[in-house]
Amino acid sequence: MSIHLTFKNIRYSDAVSSHVHKAFEELIKITDNKFPFHVNLNKITQESYHVGINCSYKNKCLFSKGDHENLYKALSKGIDSMKTQVIRKAEKIRS
Per-residue tens of pLDDT for the chain, all 95 residues: 589 999 999 999 999 999 999 999 888 888 888 888 999 999 999 889 999 999 988 788 999 999 999 999 999 999 999 999 988 887 777 66
pLDDT number for residue 5? 95
* Distance in angstroms (rounded) separating the CA atoms of residues 22 and 86: 18
Report residue 88 CA to chain centroid gap.
16
pLDDT number for residue 1? 55
The partner residues of 67 in beta bridges, in order of sequence, read: 50
Domains and CATH numbers, the chain: 3-94 (3.30.160.100)
pLDDT number for residue 55? 92
* Distance in angstroms (rounded) separating the CA atoms of residues 60 and 77: 21
* Distance in angstroms (rounded) separating the CA atoms of residues 61 and 70: 27
